[in-house]
Every structure is written in C-alpha cells, then in structure tokens.
Structure 1
Amino acid sequence: MLGFRSEAPEAEGPVTLGQDNMLRCLRNEQPSREKNEPSSLNKQVTWIIPETADTARCLDALRTLAERHAALRTVFPGAGGADLPKVQRQRQEGEFTVQLIALGPDEDATARSEAFGWDERCHPFDLAADFPLRLGLITRDDRPVALGVVVSHAQLDGVATGLLFKDWMVLTSGGELPPPAGPTPIEVATQERSASGQRRGRAALRHWQRILDEEPSAVFADDRVHSADNLLHTLAIRTPAGAAALDRAVQRTGSSKSAVLTACYAALAAHRAARSTVVMAALSANRHRSVLAEHIGTLAQDALLVLDTDCPDLDTLIGRTQAQALSGYWHATFETERLWKILDDSSLGRGARFVRDVVLNDVSGTVPEEIAALRPDPAADPELSWYPTEPLPTRLMINIWRTSGCLEISLHAHPDVLDREETEHFARALLRLIDLAGQRNVTLGPDGELAALSNLPVGRREKGRWQRVGSNWVDLDAVADRLRTVLAVKDVEVSWQNEELTAEIGAGCPLTPTEAHTAVVDALSWRDTVMAPQRYLLPNGTGTGRE
C-alpha cells in the first residue's frame, strides 16, 4: 500500500463532458469475474521497466505520478447511486495498492501481465473511492521486469495512459519531469462551460444530427449479418515494411499518416460492405485540439466521419478523408445526455437505430518512438498474432498503435463481417493497399483494383427480400420476423408500397400504430438489416406511428 500527498489542495468541480460520457457508458457495463468477462471500456497495458530501475524506484515513480496528476486523484462522489455523478473531487491525499507478482523460473512476464490485466478488468472500479489504476509489479529474482496496468476509463483515456507512460519512463530512468503542461480535469470542465465551449457543443450536436438523420444507420447489412452479440476476434499486426510503405505513401500524396491509413481502411470496409458510404466513429477525436493534447484525463468522445468511397481513385479518397477528419474532429465535444436524446429522437423518426459498425482508434502519437523502439522486433514481417475474443460494441474496429519504424495495428472483427481467415485477408489487403499508395495511385470503383488485391468477401443481398430505404439496406423478411417477435403476432406481411416500408398486421395485435412503432424501435439494437415500418396497417388503425 502506497500513500501520496499532493501540493495541490483538494478541489471539487463539475464533471467534464468526457467524464460524463464514460460514467454513462460504464454504468451500462456488467463485467464478471465468475464468467471471465472483462470490461470492454476499462483498458489494460504493460509498461516496460528500464534495467537500471529497482523496486523502490518503481514505487517512488508511481507515487510521484499520483501526486503530479489530478486525474489520478479524482473520484466521483455518489457514483454507484441512483443518479449519475455531477461532481468530480480531486483529492489531496490518499493511498493505492501495488501487487507484487513474482514470476516462476520459466514464466513469461508479458503473458503474466496480460493475465493480470484480464482478471482485473473483470472487476469494476468503485468510482467513488478507488484509485483509477490497478497495478501489478512483476518481478523475476526480486528485480522488476514489467508493470501490468489496468485503467479506469472514467478518469483516463488511451492517450492519457500513453502520456502517463512517458512520465513513468522518465522517472524510472532516474530523470526529472518538467511541470505538467496540460489542463486539469476541473480546468477542462470550466472551459467546456464557457460561452465558446457551449457554442462548440451546439455545433457538434448539429453535425451529429444531420448524419444520424440522413446517412446509413448501419454499414454492414447483407445476407451474412444476423447476430446481435458483440464478441469480436482480435488480430494484431506488426510490420516494419508497412511503416516504410506508409512513409512513402505520405511523401507521395502529401497527406498525413492518419489520412492514408483511414482512407485505406475505409476503402476495404466499403468493399466488404458492398456500399460506397462508410460512417465511421473515430475515438478520442477531441485529442486533436492542441490545447488538450497534453491533458491527463478522459476526453473519450467520438468524432463521426462520413467517408464517400465512390470516387475514381485512392488519392481522391485520401483527400476526402483528410477534409472529413478535420470536420469530424472539430465536432467531437458535446453533452452526452443531449446527444443520446438526439439518437433516440432520430431512431423514432427514422425507424432505424444507429450502430457503430466501423470504428477507428488512432493512438499512435501517444508513445515516443524512442520508447516504442525498445520493443523486440517482430518475428516475421508481417507478424500476425491472435488474441482472445472480447465483447466490443462494433462490427469492425482498427487500433493504430504505432506508425514509425514499425507499423503496429490491431483489428477487431465480428464473425458476421469477417471470420478469422477473412480478417487475416483484410489485414494483408490493408498492407498491400498502403504499399501501392506509396508507389502510385490506385483505381477504385466497380472496375477498380480492390477485388483482385484484397481476396475479401463482398456483401451479398440475395437470400432475403432486400430493399433500399433511404440510405439503408433493409431485408423485408427480417423486418417481418422482428415484428412477429416484438408484437407477439403471427400474421405479418411487410412490403414496399408507394415508396414506403409498409407492414400489414393481422388480428391479435391490440396496439395503435404509435404504440407498435415505439415497441419496434425499442427492439432494434444491433439489428443491422431491420428498420421499423414507415406505415402500419393494424386492426386498431393505420398510420406511421410517428404522429
């Protein structure tokens, strides 16, 4: 048990928008040690330890981090109660635990750290009292060799964790740190509530509402997509050749690494989905504002990008991606409660629930290259490694961990979208596309090069009765099945009449159109191939249900 006491006095203030967002999300999570189900929001990492550091220096470094950064001293009074916390408290003093884990003679330190992290993520944090890091100092022959870290997402996001790691490396190497450069969580909350902060928030909500009302609710809607579970398999890719190819692509196109990677990822996702528009959630997007770049805390609000891949070539798509990213990142700070209301209102009006089918998480700027380079070289190029399946609320996700010296990414894929073999095809296709982008332009479109170079399946809509409804693809048979289940009736006929998705429901349903529509929309989560009807023909009346 380590105690800490900061020079900064105890303080209270409103929660930040990012904290509020994560408190809401964590409230809906149910990690379980009994079921071996870890939190998908709280994260785990392994921190390396310089050879010159002993146990005492490591413990002193952790105490210094706690005293230095307000986010590590932050708790949320009332968390776990009936109402969401509205206040954060930054403590002046407290204590935290570091588990000392001795390795066996042949035990691998990284594997032991990963097991520690998985187990600790199965147990939720007490956000009203707990220190936001769970720490396992792993030793071999009484010498520290690794630190397993589990992070509470309510206080720290991925970028903040990377910034903490930079401080950790300086301290455990015997160095000294300059004063913290970023604002504290309470200072961020104050800025968000200023006049300029509120204007930014209103603009962000307008940006989201337009996309939710007009763009595809789901990217993947085809014959293979039917499961509502969220267990995704995970593939990690490490490749020095990929980093060199990315450098060439950046030099040839004059774009950023992020834009090149995102465009290639979007092109392949669109190819698999058999549609041109990809709505993509980009995590930690508000980190792109320079004033928040060094903030130790949780910003954790998505940017929503709409990438139109219907263009003649990859260079054009890279340019579009760069422009869309700027717009999306600018509109990534908002009040979560108001956004959730917009989501609900849009779902009710449109009859379709938005799902985060495609996700991008670029945290490549958080770890200095000199530290990343300390990792062992990949055993092959590319090196592909499988990890256990995890519950994640998406269909396809890419994490970008490192882009210089060695490209390090990981892919999470739902089996309905990509099975394990297809996920490897996707990874290799992404690397081939980056390599080509460094040499020349790549033709896209129906007669383009993606089919030949990717070896990926393309979404087919042949087994059901598929209909384009606005920007969504809908299986009329799946809609009818959903209505039978939700409304507890057998006699249902769904058709496309007079440019409307129409449901004729026979005897046995006592509901009005409004009651039926509300019930159906409430049961649409992760039903990517289904929309609520736009007109209901019921024994008790006819209408849209949206009156």
Structure 2
Amino acid sequence: MTTERVTIAYRVPGEPAEAPLTLGQDNMIRCLRRDLPSHMNKHAVWPVPPGADRAACLDALRTLAERHAALRTVFPGPAGDQPTHQRALSDGEFGVDVTELDPAEDPDARADEVTRHDREFAFALAEDFPLRCTLLTRDGVPLRLAVVICHAQLDGTATGLLFQDWFRLASGEELPPATGRTPIEVAELERSASGRRRATAALRHWERILREEPATVFADDRIGPNDAQLPTLVLRSVKAADALERTARRTGAGPSAVLLACYAALAAARADQSTVVVAALSANRHRPGLADHIGTLAQDALLALDTAAADLDELIGRTQASALGGYWHSTFDAEKVWRLIEDVAVDRGARFVRQVVVNDLSGTVPPGVTPERADPPVDPLLAWLPPDPIPTRLMLNIWRVTGCLELTLHTHRDVLDRAESERFAHALLDLLELAAERPVPLAELAALAGLPSAVRDKGSWHRIDNTWIDLDAVADVVRTALDPQDVDVEHADGRLTARITTRGRALTPAEAHAAVMAALPGHDRAMAPHHYVLTPYGEGPGRPGAPAE
C-alpha cells in the first residue's frame, strides 16, 4: 500500500468576501470548541462512479470547491476564541491523499479505518479546507473516496448534497449553476427583521419545553454515567419500506413523522413515562429556500412528544404537528440558547439532558443518483458496527425510506443492551407492519415489543417537577460537591430539601446551590435541591450558631 499527496488549486472570480457568522455556523463552532473532534467531525465513504478515473475524481473535487462557497469558507481569529465572522476565499488549495490498495485489501474496511483515524483531529477553522479526502485505488482505478467533514462548514444534509454533485461531476456530467443560498446570503437573511423575529420565537419555544417538560427521559435503577460510547445497530429491510409507505399513505403523514412516532412510542415504553423530549438534528432544512443550501444549518429542533394516545394513528398526527412546530423554531442564537439552558437549570435545579435524538437524512441522496445497492440477503438485516462517541442515550438515524428502509440505531448499554436493542429494532418493524393495516392501540405495545421498562424499585425515587429523581443520587451529588459531614435529602409538598451538616466552613445556600449545579452534569438521576438547610458541624439547637436556610 502506497500513498501520494496531491495538491489541488481552485480559483473563482472576484475578491474574498466577509460577513457575520450564520446562526448555524456559530452554533457548530461552539460545539466544536466544547466537544472532542471525534464527536464533532463527521465521516462518509463515497462510492466512485463506474468508469471514473483518477483525474475525473480529483477534478470533481476542484469543481466542488469553486462551485460552493462553503468549501472556500474559513473563520478568521485565534484558534481558542469564538470567531465572529466568516470569510469566503476566492482562491486557495487543498490536499488529497491517493492511496493504492494492496491486491487483497478490502476498500470498504480501509476507507472505514482512514475516516475513523482522520476524524480524531480538529480542523484549523481559520485556514483548513473543510474536507479531508482520501481516494482509494487499486491498479490505479478509483474505488472509494473516504471523506472527513468539518461540521463548521457542512452539516449532514449539505454533505449528502455535496456527494450528489461530486458523483455526477466524476461521472462526466455537466451541472447547471448552483442555485442554493451561500452562507453569506444566509447570514444576511437571518439578520433581517423577519429573521430576528424567528430567532426570538425559537427562544420562547425552547424555554417552555425546558421549564415544563421532563429534564431527562431515561431515569431508573439502570442509568449510570454516560461514557458516550454507543454501539451502532444497522437495520435494512425491503418489507419495512413497503410497510412504511403503506402506513404513510393510510394515515396521510410523511414517512419521517411515522418513523418518529414509532420511535417515540418505543422510547416512552422503555422510559416508563409518556412525554419524550426529542432533539431532531438538522431540522431547519424545512425553512423556505434552504433545502439545497450547501453549508451548516445544524441546530436542534426540540420536540416534546406526548405519547399518551389511544392509538398510533393519533400519535402520528400529534408527532407531525409537534415536529412542524419544532422545525419552525430551530433557528436561534446559540449563545442565548445555552444561556437559557443554564438559567433554567439553575432555577429548576434540573439540567436538561439530550437523551433521545433523531436525525433524518433520508432526503440527502435521492433514488437514482448512485447505483442501487443489492437488497439485503435476509429481511430484515441487522448488523453491529463498532461504538461511536455520541453524547446521548438513544439515537436513530434515518438514511433511506424508499425501496429499502435503512436505519442506524445507537444505544447506550444502560438504556438497551445488545439483545434489547435488537428487540427494539424488530419492534419498530412490527409496529410498521401493523400500522400499515390498521390503527394500533398503544396498549398493545408492551406485548408487541417485549422491551424492558424502567425499574425504580428503591423507595428513593420521586417524581419532582415532572422529572423522575432518585433522592439517593441527589445526596451523592451533594456529597461530591460539598464534602459535608452529613446530608439528608427529603421530598415533601413538591419541594426537594437538603439538610446538610458542613465541616465547619461558612457556606450560604446560594453557594451550596452553585456547587451542586456544577457537579450535576453526568448524573442523570439527580437534580439540585430547591432548599438548603446548612448547619456547621458541632452546632445546632442549644449550641452556638444557627442553620443557614
């Protein structure tokens, strides 16, 4: 195996242009600065068009850079600071590795190895081209293009659109001029009067859910710290695609709403609570004029789905309405949303945890763009991939809904182990089959799914402020934060009180609350007390000093 580094230069008419960041760019750069590169960099393996040679594949990449301003966009400023502006370059260059495979080497395995390695390293936002590309060849013939993507410039949908362009260009096809808005044009739109109103309305939508709905979905005896390593279950089924199409036709809902309703119903059954708060990724592609935007719009839509419905048809209708509302309110100032999340957490004592995620990428590569994959040898086909670092508890990716349903399910072992994850996948397919024929009473779900439900056997579990909380876990967080001599936690009349004997140091309730809130992340079963009674060790009734409350 040998590798050659090829430099590709690009140039477009005009001078470099600058503008403020788009809201999506600002959001993703904040995430990039906070999370590990392996969490935030995305990767893909692109098939090579039949008959395309090395020159065509590389020239298609150059054309992409000249065609789409997002690929020429950098973010000036020191590496450790949050940038304020984007700059679209008019010329530059980037490198592509061309790797010649050994005769017996599996190109897909090698592509997976390359992308998993390359996603471990951060992009330099002020200067790097946002794609790390490796063209894999055998006897000089291109077989795969392995790509790692910087999330600051491209979200999942944009990457899918980019692949379509590359595949057609490498096939020798001439493309019409790009019509999607550039990132600079999106920034201008977002700073218009209507754009500012939309962002303000989004904050109100988020605040209502953050203050009123469950702060966590999964809270029971099994839930421990999240190590963010989630194995991936791949599901492919031709029969399920047919059932999904019939269910959508019978109910009048879109395939995405049908799948989301089934997913939420099963998640609710596992969580043993009716309301499931779901983060839907890349949801603002539904905004007018942005479906074909090459850039990053990736901001969550926050949905609160009430699964306490008579049947699945009713839940599908609720889900479609809730999703539309969430998508409409998924364009926001990320700094203000993070401040809102923190302010609500301090007020409520419960920190919102993004435990259930859905990402619908089924529209990114329409049928007919690439050669159809063979149907799975068995139906359904379930296969496991290595764990991915994903900071959530349950995530469904929807890749394809027509012809052959293709999904990936990421599950944390505390929520679903491997056997339970496979039962979850089969239950989803069974639910689609039944829903294609009739309304399915949700009372049938438990028998249908055979999934575990939340177990809260200890007497320390209480439902507080619409969230399941383990008082023992609260006491553990207080001990971690304050190192007290003694702590007793009680819940009465809707208020959570911590009676703390400190080790002699003076401590106000406000200081105690701040320390507990700082220690709370990672403890999904706990919340901070609403009320603190602080007594220094050696003091109490009949002794000098008095409790601070």
TM-score (norm 2): 0.95
Cα 1:459/1:344, change in 2 over 3 Å: same
Verify the 8 A CA contact 2:480 2:519 in the aligned structure 1: no
Write out per-residue CA displacement over residues 298-351 of structure 1, whole angstroms, 9 at most, x where no aligned residue. Answer: 011000001000111000000000000110000000000011110110000000
Q: Distance in 2 between matches of 1:129 and 1:263?
A: 43
Q: Does 1:399 align with 2:389?
A: no
Q: Give the counterpart letter for 1:9 in structure 2.
A: E
Equivalent in the alignment of 1:294:
292
On the 8 A contact 2:130/2:149 being kept in 1, the answer is: yes
1:128-277 correspondence runs (5 A): 128-277=126-275
Does residue 60 (structure 1) correspond to residue 59 (structure 2)? The answer is yes
Alpha-carbon contact 2:225-2:524 (below 8 Å) kept: no
Report if the CA contact (8 A) 2:226-2:393 is conserved.
no
- Cα displacement string for residues 101-134 of structure 1 (whole angstroms, at most 9, x for unaligned residues): 1111121111111111000001111111110000
1:384 CA drift (Å): 1.2
Structure 2 counterpart of 1:539, from 511, 535, 538: 535
2:466 aligned with 1:471: yes
State the alpha-carbon separation in 2 of the partners of residues 113 and 123 from structure 1.
Answer: 17
Question: In the alignment, is residue 382 of structure 1 matched against residue 380 of structure 2?
Answer: yes
Matches for 1:304-319 after TM superposition, within 5 Å: 304-319=302-317
Return closer, same or farther for 1:68/1:8 CA change in 2, 3 Å cut-off.
farther
- Please give the per-residue CA displacement for 1:411-439, whole angstroms capped at 9, x wherever unaligned: 11111101111111111111111111111
Match of 2:507 among 511, 522, 530: 511
Q: State the one-letter code of the partner of 1:72.
A: L
**Paired position in structure 2 for 1:69:** 68
The answer to whether the Cα contact below 8 Å between 1:535 and 1:542 also exists between their aligned partners in 2 is no
Match of 2:497 among 479, 497, 502: 502
After superposition, the Cα gap between the structure-2 partners of 1:85 and 1:117, relative to the gap in structure 1 and judged at 3 Å, is same
| 2:3 alignment counterpart | none
Query: Given the two structures, how large is their TM-score scaled by the length of structure 1?
Result: 0.96
Q: Give 4+ residue runs of structure 1 displaced > 3 Å after superposition.
A: 540-544
Structure 1 residue 229: Cα displacement: 2.0
Q: Please give the alpha-carbon distance, in whole angstroms, between the structure 1 residues aligned to 2:111 and 2:182.
A: 30
Deviations 1:353-385 (A, max 9, x none): 001010010010010111355223323211111
Which whole-Å CA distance do the structure 2 matches of 1:110 and 1:375 have between them? 14
Partner of 2:424: 426
Change (3 A) 1:144 1:294: same
- Structure 1 unaligned residues grouped into runs of 5+: 32-38
Where 1:292 maps in the other structure, the secondary structure is: coil
User: Tell me, which stretches of 5 or more residues in structure 2 are unaligned?
Assistant: 1-6, 537-545
CA distance in 1, matches of 2:506, 2:79: 39
How far has the Cα of 1:543 moved from its partner?
A: 7.2
Aligned residues of 1:223 and 1:459 also touching (Cα < 8 A): yes
- Name the structure 2 match of 1:109: 107
Which residue in 1 is equivalent to 2:34?
28
Q: Per the alignment, in what secondary structure is the counterpart of residue 326 of structure 1? A: helix
Aligned equivalents of 2:31, 2:97: Cα separation in 1: 28
Q: Residue type of the partner of 2:526?
A: V
CA distance in 2, matches of 1:492, 1:163: 56
Tell me which residue corresponds to 1:484.
479
Q: Is 1:408 aligned to residue 414 of structure 2?
A: no
Which stretch of the first structure deviates more once superposed, 296-305 or 223-232? 223-232
Aligned to 2:120: 122
| Secondary structure class of the residue paired with 1:324 | helix
Moved more, 459-468 or 191-200: 459-468
Query: Counterpart of 2:22?
Result: 16
Partner of 2:77: 78
1:144-186 CA distances to partner (integer Å, 9 max, x unpaired)? 0110011000000000000001111211111111111110001
* C-alpha distance in 1 between matches for 2:54 and 2:74: 28
Q: Tell me by how many angstroms 1:41 deviates.
A: 1.4
CA distance in 2, matches of 1:507, 1:334: 42
What is the Cα deviation at residue 454 of structure 1? 0.9
Task: Report if the CA contact (8 A) 1:79-1:127 is conserved.
Answer: no
Contact 1:535 1:543 in 2 (8 A): no
Query: Contact between 2:77 and 2:83, CA under 8 Å: does it hold in 1?
Result: yes
Q: Is the 8 A contact 1:464 1:477 kept in 2?
A: no
Amino acid at match of 1:203: A
Distance 1:30 1:380 in 2: 37
Distance (whole Å) between structure 2 residues aligned to residue 155 and residue 336 of structure 1: 16
SS in 2 for 1:128: coil
Q: Deviations over 1:42-78 (max 9, x none)?
A: 1111111111210011111010000000000001111
Question: How far apart, CA to CA, are the structure 2 residues paired with 1:406 and 1:542?
Answer: 66
Which SS does the other structure have where 1:457 is aligned? coil
Deviation by residue 1:236-284 (Cα, 9 ceiling, x = unmatched) = 1111111111011111111100110000000000000000000000000
Letter in 2 for 1:16: T
CA distance in 1 between partners of 2:281 and 2:502 (Å): 47
**Deviation per residue, 1:479-530 (Å, 9 max, x gap):** 1111111111141100113331111101315321000001111111131110
Q: Is the contact made by 1:132 and 1:151 (CA closer than 8 Å) also made in structure 2?
A: yes
> Which residue type is aligned with residue 320 of structure 1?
R
**For the residues of structure 1 that align with 2:141 and 2:367, how far apart are their CA atoms?**
26
Helix, strand or coil: the match of 2:276? strand
Contact 2:226 2:391 in 1 (8 A): no
Instruction: Name whichever of 222-231 and 399-408 sits farther off.
Output: 222-231
Q: Given that residues 66 and 72 in structure 1 are in contact (C-alpha distance below 8 angstroms), is that contact kept between their aligned partners in structure 2?
A: yes
Q: 2:131 touches 2:149 (CA, 8 Å); kept in 1? A: yes
| Counterparts of 1:147 and 1:385, CA distance in 2 | 23
Measure the CA separation in 2 of the matches of 1:362 and 1:499. Answer: 38
Q: In structure 1, what residue type is equivalent to 2:509? A: P
Contact conserved, 1:223 with 1:464, CA < 8 A, in 2?
A: no
- Conserved in 2, the CA contact under 8 Å of 1:75 and 1:130? yes
Structure-2 change in CA distance of 1:249 and 1:156 (3 Å): same
Out of 343, 357, 360, the position equivalent to 1:359 is 357
d(CA) in 1 for partners of 2:348 and 2:180? 41
The RMSD of aligned alpha carbons is 1.3
Task: Report the Cα offset of residue 392 of structure 1.
Answer: 1.1
Match of 2:542 in 1: none
Partner of 1:461: 456
The aligned length equals 533
Q: Distance in 1 between matches of 2:495 and 2:166?
A: 59
User: Identity percentage over the alignment?
Assistant: 59
> 1: distance between equivalents of 2:495 and 2:109?
55
Q: How far off is 1:542 after superposition?
A: 6.2
2:533 alignment partner, SS class = strand
Find the partner of 1:525 among 509, 521, 524: 521
Give the C-alpha shift of residue 14 in structure 1. Answer: 0.6
Matched AA of 1:520: V
Q: Distance in 2 between matches of 1:402 and 1:138?
A: 25
Report the residue type matching 2:451 in the other structure. L
